[in-house]
Structure 1
Amino acid sequence: MKTGQASKTAYSAARYRAAHQVLEQGSIFRDPLALRILGGDAEELLADAPRRGMRLFIAARHRFAEDHLAAAVGRGVRTAVVLGAGLDTFAYRNPHPALQVIEIDHPDTQVWKQQRLAEAGVSRPASLRYLGVDFERESLADRLDLDEPAFFLWLGVVPYLSAEGFAATLKRVADRPGNEVVFDYAQSPERMPAARRAALEERAARVAKIGEPWLTFFEPEEIAADLAGHGFGEIEDLGPSGLAARYFDRPDVPPETAGGHVLHARR
């Protein structure tokens, strides 16, 4: 993203979440605030109907993340950290009374989000605090101080980070036993079947055109080894076929799917 401007991909992800509420009635992931925070109306989201694959991927990654978060709360985790929060609405519909939420994002995006929330009449809950961080220029370790295990929601961020930015943030996420994280990542288009490669390349070209290019790709075995090296002993990684089987009510992968992998890891 450009300094002084909110993230355009954050808006795009929010639009996909809202469109899922309209076009699939939130069948995978329910978010009653998705449309309100956009400030638009349901009719204009009908134009997103052809982008079903990416829409379902984004719905599935949120469902996957929030299911794992609920399980972590059941184990006693009391802090959730939303990295690169964008227009994510979890903190404003948080169903866990004892869970504190910290939203971390670029300060420009946070200002934009708070304006959106005010216009939508969505109030800031007492359980939420904001922390402005530029992940490429500031160390998360220097800004975030926690005294107990936390659950990190890191969605729609990793592909846009440099390898150095990803490594620095992962190091902070892994610094305490009991920490958990969910993030999504993209495989290199060169490793994809032809139909999925075309969709992925089209998506990558689109975000590059608006100034937010994908910078980092991983293969499943590579990211698993990296996480193990940071002390994560429990890893669940769902790729397109795993997501399709669990959430899309179909055993195959929609050919237009431009999403990637979503994984959960526990330290």
Structure 2
Amino acid sequence: MSWSISVDQGRPSRTALAVALLRAAHQVLDTPVVFADPVALPILGPDAERRIRADEARLRQPPARFLRAALVARSRHAEEGLAAAVGQGVGQYVLLGAGLDTFAYRNPHPDLRVIEVDHPATQAWKREMLRHAGVVPPAGVTFAPLDLERDTLSTGLTHAGFDWDRPAFFAWLGVTMYLTRDAVMDTLRLIAGLPAGSGIVFDYSLPADRLSPGQRPIFQAMLDRAAAEGEPWRSFFTPDSLLPDLRALGFTTVEDSGASELNPRYFAHRADGLALGGVSRLVHAQVDGTAGYRPEGKAP
């Protein structure tokens, strides 16, 4: 199966494919791995490793190396946050903009319900990729195709069987930069109103004026690539402005981490140069549920 044919026919996110390729490249090129994903290669087809090896020289250079580090760090960070939430009794996990994320097909938590939310075209393409790879979605996985031009996130979650009376954990990775600030805040507001114990891990990009001269070429290369794929970046945040906004929405615990915190945690003592470049940051936010969000039409 040709990746390019699948992408062109289904019109899913090209960025989702680029992310999946870098996640798979991590399994092939980087030792030791920071984020072990045994499904990352199979989902891309039988010639995935050959393609990665053929492109190895480029993949070992910035910005690909920095971007790969960011992708595996955010996935590991999210799944560590999820594991902690499951340990506290959370039984619902929602992947917003799931792309080719593979968590649901290697889920170590037997009682965890997983909901994958994505654009219908991207989700249909993913299901085709899974089928060709021989990966059967487990019973606890629900696909929630959602076109935000027609439906709201709350409607999509309700249709997927999301339980608004139980806490949930969300992963929202590689998405906020493609949305307007208002759209980002609307989604965070919804999550901030969920029951106590709910939480989210998401990433965001810093604006150019917060980057060093060495970081700006990497940042610009990422912007240029996204724009060339027809998916331009639209929003940027800073820790000092984002924290009060998150508090105002109702998040009670907020951990905002950048390269200075995450490189020692995930990339210490490496000889291959794999490390975060500092363009993006990760937020792990939790709520106490006092806002009492209810989707339209649901009684409190």
Change (3 A) 1:70 1:208: same
Instruction: State the shift of 1:43 in Å.
Output: 2.8
Change (3 A) 1:235 1:97: same
Alpha-carbon distance between aligned partners in 2 of 1:94 and 1:24, rounded to the nearest angstrom: 23
Q: Are 2:156 and 1:143 equivalent residues in the alignment?
A: yes
Q: For 1:74-223, list aligned pairs within 5 A.
A: 74-135=87-148, 137-145=150-158, 146=163, 147-176=165-194, 177-223=196-242
Instruction: State the shift of 1:4 in Å.
Output: 5.7
Whose radius of gyration is greater, 1 or 2? 2
- TM-score, normalised via structure 1 length: 0.93
Deviations 1:20-43, CA, capped at 9 Å, x for gaps: 000114620000000111113313
The match for 2:50 is 43
Instruction: State the shift of 1:183 in Å.
Output: 0.3
Change (3 A) 1:233 1:98: same
Instruction: State the shift of 1:242 in Å.
Output: 1.5
Alpha-carbon distance between aligned partners in 2 of 1:26 and 1:213, rounded to the nearest angstrom: 33
Alpha-carbon distance between aligned partners in 1 of 2:67 and 2:253, rounded to the nearest angstrom: 27
Change (3 A) 1:258 1:152: same
Instruction: State the shift of 1:258 in Å.
Output: 6.5
The match for 1:239 is 258
Amino acid at match of 1:45: I
Alpha-carbon distance between aligned partners in 2 of 1:76 and 1:183, rounded to the nearest angstrom: 21
The match for 1:27 is 33
Alpha-carbon distance between aligned partners in 1 of 2:70 and 2:32, rounded to the nearest angstrom: 13
Change (3 A) 1:237 1:38: same
- Whether the 8 Å contact between 2:95 and 2:172 is mirrored in structure 1 is yes
Match of residue 7, structure 1, among 5, 8, 13: 13
Alpha-carbon distance between aligned partners in 1 of 2:263 and 2:168, rounded to the nearest angstrom: 29
Change (3 A) 1:149 1:57: same
- Whether the 8 Å contact between 2:263 and 2:275 is mirrored in structure 1 is no
Amino acid at match of 1:28: V
Instruction: State the shift of 1:138 in Å.
Output: 2.8
Amino acid at match of 1:212: E
Does 203-212 or 18-27 show the bigger shift?
A: 18-27
Amino acid at match of 1:148: R
Q: Are 2:272 and 1:265 equivalent residues in the alignment?
A: no
Percent of paired sites with the same residue: 44
Q: Aligned to 1:194, what secondary structure does the other structure show?
A: coil
Deviations 1:119-162, CA, capped at 9 Å, x for gaps: 00000100000111124553112222322000001111111111
- Whether the 8 Å contact between 1:80 and 1:100 is mirrored in structure 2 is yes
- TM-score, normalised via structure 2 length: 0.84
Deviations 1:167-224, CA, capped at 9 Å, x for gaps: 2211211121321000000010121001111101111111111100110100011111
Two-structure CA RMSD over aligned residues (Å) = 2.1
